[in-house]
Chains A and B, each alone.
Chain A
Amino acid sequence: MMMPTGQIRRRTLFFMPKYIICEVYPLLMYGAYAYPFNLKANGIIIDVKQKDRIFTYTRECNGEEFGIKLSAAGGRIIINPVEPVNLPKKITHFLEIGFDKIVMPPESYETYYLKFPVEIGVFYSSRNDISVIDIFSLSPHKYSLYGTPKGGSIVKYCYSEIYSSIPETDPLREGIIALNIINNEKEIIEISKVVFDSFGMKIFYDSENVTMSASMKILPKYEADTEFINAPLIPGSGKSIELYTAMNIPVVKRNFKMEWGY
């Protein structure tokens, strides 16, 4: 992990006039910035430069480059982890995490920790409005089918080890999800995957971790209900701006019923 070599203060950079060049702790990348500024961390370079009255946002990550022009008339850039279901192309809003099969006794509950891939969202904010201008990721992407081709869903897929305590992660690549599994049924159950609807995701981050909390309630007939908990796993964590909020997508249902087994 790189040590900071320049001056940067997360969330205190609004309207700072001078150009900032620094290498930062990975998690210091997350926050709000007045432009111009420049960030470098774990192979990610974000640069906002001014030429005449136009600012140019450029980003390099995994050899991929992206650029967009920004108006000089105010606004700021917010960078935070977002729902990991957008790359390389938005085709679903479901996330499946597969893990080694775990057996749970009847009428029991347990909290396990899983890792999930992080996608980083860059928002342009001005007055009371906010818009996504860039999403990128250091993590590999894989998609899968949950259920049947006719009635199932395409899901963003990742595999995770299962942990009994919060594992160490590279916060620009991976986040941690605390999964509270509640088995109210009178049968032994075997679980090897969990599927979430990203429309209900609540992502938090602090100086070391990107985290989420969720519950998985086991239902009869090999079904389960998953839902995100709107509370930070680590006290004092900041809350990410959700993509569906920024895109003004109205969210009616926040849970997901796993009808095709777990």
Chain B
Amino acid sequence: MVTIIDQFANLNIGYQTVTIGEVFISIIIIIAAIIIGRFISNKVKRQLHDVVSANNRELIVKSIYFAIIFAGLLIALPYLDLDLSGLLLAGGIFGIIIGFAGQNVFSNFISGIILIFERPIKIGDNIGIEDTLGTVEDIRILSTIIKTYDGIYTRIPNQTLFTANITNYVTNVARRFEYKIGIRYSDDAEKAMSVMWEIIKNHPFALKYPEPSIFVEDLGDNAVIISVRIWSPSLVWWDVRTELLWKIKKTIEENGIQIPFPQRTVWFPEGMKNDVIIKEKVKV
């Protein structure tokens, strides 16, 4: 029985020295590549579901699928006595040309893949990259689209994004902001802090914990500087910041506390003499 199977497996096909067994192995490799390709691409598809847009997801998934199929073919074809050296040579030369021509494209592509898996940013995040501040609209294979707060469409190559310092303002659910409010030396700083505390305590989005802190930070040239630090949900921090600043300004003024203008008192040694001269001129 074993001999019959061996003979069948070693049976040559056509003029080539390819046996049925080798054909069978190559078919198995290709089928395995298809199965593995489908399995991995489905896994990747699920993983990327909330990470990248549908178009890019399909592109990535198909690239991975066909790359695995291609690898399977490269492994399977030598069993069919197909000489791939010519193909490899041609592919090598083609690869060098493409490599030189598409160096940046490839770099952006790899950066895009790494960004998708590392996930420093997500669609909808408020981010800052160098001088560009805005909301992430889309993360594509080669570039990332940001809508600036002015509503301007900005395309940033993924390579730039990958090497740049990214500030993500909403990765953490809460963030802190700070005011430095100057009051006159003649004003009661404790009363001012108490008024501020009450305003912050009554604001729904000035978080209860971590607690806000209010303290005299500096005795400045023109004012006593009170520092106010408030934690707020990242989603609404800008609204809270602008709303509270104006509310604090209005309320402390209602309580007779003033924010002073910068002022400097200058003393002239001959000040008295000048005053006398002016008075004499007035008399004349």
Q: Let me know if B205 and A143 touch, CB within 8 A.
A: yes
Q: Does A132 interact with chain B (Cβ within 8 Å)?
A: no
Q: Let me know if A149 and B204 touch, CB within 8 A.
A: no
Complex: chain B residue closest to A98, CB-CB: B208
Bound-state Cα–Cα, A91 to B207, Å: 13
Complex: chain A residue closest to B204, CB-CB: A141
Q: Let me know if A143 and B207 touch, CB within 8 A.
A: yes
Distance between B224 CB and nearest chain A CB, rounded to angstroms: 29
Bound-state Cα–Cα, A152 to B207, Å: 13
* Among B204, B231, B235, contact of A145 (Cβ-Cβ < 8 Å): B231
Bound-state Cα–Cα, A91 to B205, Å: 10
Q: Let me know if A91 and B235 touch, CB within 8 A.
A: yes
Q: Does A236 interact with chain B (Cβ within 8 Å)?
A: no
Using C-beta atoms within 8 Å of the partner chain, give the interface range for chain A. Answer: 10 to 19
Q: Let me know if A89 and B236 touch, CB within 8 A.
A: yes
Distance between A45 CB and nearest chain B CB, rounded to angstroms: 23
* 221-241 of chain B: CB within 8 A of chain A: 231, 233, 235-236
Q: Does B174 interact with chain A (Cβ within 8 Å)?
A: yes
Complex: chain B residue closest to A145, CB-CB: B174
Q: Let me know if A143 and B172 touch, CB within 8 A.
A: no
Q: Enumerate chain A residues within 8 angstroms of B235, measured Cβ to Cβ.
A: 91, 154
Q: Let me know if B208 and A91 touch, CB within 8 A.
A: no
Distance between B12 CB and nearest chain A CB, rounded to angstroms: 60
Distance between B190 CB and nearest chain A CB, rounded to angstroms: 24
* Among A89, A140, A141, A144, contact of B207 (Cβ-Cβ < 8 Å): A144
Complex: chain B residue closest to A148, CB-CB: B172
Q: Let me know if B172 and A149 touch, CB within 8 A.
A: yes
Q: Let me know if B204 and A150 touch, CB within 8 A.
A: no
Bound-state Cα–Cα, A157 to B233, Å: 13
Contact with B along A85-97 (1 / 0, CB 8 A): 0001101100000
Bound-state Cα–Cα, A149 to B232, Å: 10
Q: Enumerate chain A residues within 8 angstroms of B231, measured Cβ to Cβ.
A: 145, 149
Bound-state Cα–Cα, A146 to B205, Å: 14
A-B contact count (CB 8 A): 47
* Among B171, B172, B175, B208, contact of A142 (Cβ-Cβ < 8 Å): B208
Bound-state Cα–Cα, A149 to B209, Å: 10
Bound-state Cα–Cα, A195 to B208, Å: 15
Contact with A along B164-205 (1 / 0, CB 8 A): 000000011111000000000000000000000000001011
Q: Enumerate chain A residues within 8 angstroms of B99, measured Cβ to Cβ.
A: none
Q: Let me know if A154 and B174 touch, CB within 8 A.
A: yes
Complex: chain A residue closest to B240, CB-CB: A143
Q: Does B220 interact with chain A (Cβ within 8 Å)?
A: no
Distance between A261 CB and nearest chain B CB, rounded to angstroms: 12
Complex: chain B residue closest to A92, CB-CB: B233
Q: Does B91 interact with chain A (Cβ within 8 Å)?
A: no
Distance between B95 CB and nearest chain A CB, rounded to angstroms: 43
* 244-274 of chain B: CB within 8 A of chain A: none
Q: Known: A89-B236, A91-B236. Is A143-B204 also a contact (CB below 8 A)?
A: yes
Bound-state Cα–Cα, A157 to B174, Å: 15
Q: Known: A91-B233, A91-B236, A154-B233. Is A143-B208 also a contact (CB below 8 A)?
A: yes
Q: Does B102 interact with chain A (Cβ within 8 Å)?
A: no
Q: Does A255 interact with chain B (Cβ within 8 Å)?
A: no
Complex: chain B residue closest to A150, CB-CB: B172
Q: Does B120 interact with chain A (Cβ within 8 Å)?
A: no
Q: Does B210 interact with chain A (Cβ within 8 Å)?
A: yes
Distance between A42 CB and nearest chain B CB, rounded to angstroms: 21
Bound-state Cα–Cα, A140 to B207, Å: 14
Complex: chain A residue closest to B235, CB-CB: A91
Bound-state Cα–Cα, A141 to B210, Å: 16
Q: Let me know if A145 and B207 touch, CB within 8 A.
A: yes
Distance between B210 CB and nearest chain A CB, rounded to angstroms: 6
Q: Enumerate chain B residues within 8 angstroms of A141, measured Cβ to Cβ.
A: 204
Q: Enumerate chain A residues within 8 angstroms of B205, measured Cβ to Cβ.
A: 88-89, 91, 143
Q: Does A153 interact with chain B (Cβ within 8 Å)?
A: yes
Q: Known: A91-B235, A149-B175, A153-B173. Is A144-B202 also a contact (CB below 8 A)?
A: no
Bound-state Cα–Cα, A137 to B16, Å: 85
Bound-state Cα–Cα, A88 to B235, Å: 13
Q: Let me know if A152 and B173 touch, CB within 8 A.
A: yes
Q: Let me know if A149 and B173 touch, CB within 8 A.
A: yes
Bound-state Cα–Cα, A92 to B210, Å: 17
> What are 27 inter-chain pairs, A to B, with CB distance below 8 A?
A88-B204, A88-B205, A89-B205, A89-B236, A91-B233, A91-B235, A91-B236, A92-B233, A140-B204, A142-B208, A143-B204, A143-B205, A143-B207, A144-B209, A145-B173, A145-B174, A145-B207, A145-B209, A146-B209, A149-B231, A150-B171, A150-B172, A152-B173, A152-B174, A154-B173, A154-B235, A157-B209
